[in-house]
Amino acid sequence: MKTLYLCGDSTMASYSPDQAPMTGWGQMLGKLLPGVRVENRAVAGRSTKSFLAEGRLQAIEEEIRPGDLLLVQFTHNDMNDKPERHTDPWTSFRDNLNIFIDTALKKEAQPVMVTPLCQRIFADGVLQDTLGEYPRVIRQLAEERSLPLMDLYAESRRVVSGLGAEKSLALYMHLAPGEFPAWPEGKEDDTHFRREGAETWAGIAAQWLKEKELA
């Protein structure tokens, strides 16, 4: 059975039931790909830099087999100013992505580049582009190295823009006080997802993987 290894941050990560309704899209992917084993190695707070520094890719390298897939999706924490996380999009971020790619190829696995999901930030009714150059770097690197590109940034912007500022609230962690035990004071978070959002993005990812005959 083919295995999909997921490398990424909190938007892709899995969460325990006591953190409900927070859900990463990688958490939902396996349910949509019954013929594939999904190993979700995404971890909240990680950038390309910290993921590599903690040896997380090295652990995957020891397990991944020819024909498996390595899905790589970072940006949110690479933008962070903390020195243990931050990367520059056109230099260190790009260099780190190449490490992920080279590791997969060395093991005869298929690297898949994945752009980050958009943040739900509107101004005057228009969804804002908040992630800078990082998605562009991912797209360019995928083209240069002839790799599959799952452009979730473009797809999520299409979905969120189509829903608009009010309806898109249902996808993100906007919670009323007392609505969920884990969040007694409520939450207003335009980056992370409720289950509805994670299911939406996982559905788009699963459909793309099937269309590309990768899963």
**Residues with a known catalytic role:** 10, 188, 192
Judging by DSSP bridges, how do beta strands 69-73 and 110-114 pair with one another?
parallel
Tell me, letter by letter, the H, E, C secondary structure of the chain. Answer: CCEEEEEECCCCCCCCHHHCCCCCHHHHHHHHCCCCEEEECCCCCCCHHHHHHCCHHHHHHCCCCCCCEEEEECCCCCCCCCCCCCCCHHHHHHHHHHHHHHHHHHCCCEEEEECCCCCCCEECCEECCCCCCHHHHHHHHHHHCCCCEECHHHHHHHHHHHHHHHHHHHHEEEECCCCCCCCCCCEEEEEEECHHHHHHHHHHHHHHHHHCCCC
| Distance separating alpha carbons of residues 59 and 17, to the nearest angstrom | 26
Residue in 160, 36, 141 with CA at minimum distance from that of residue 95: 141
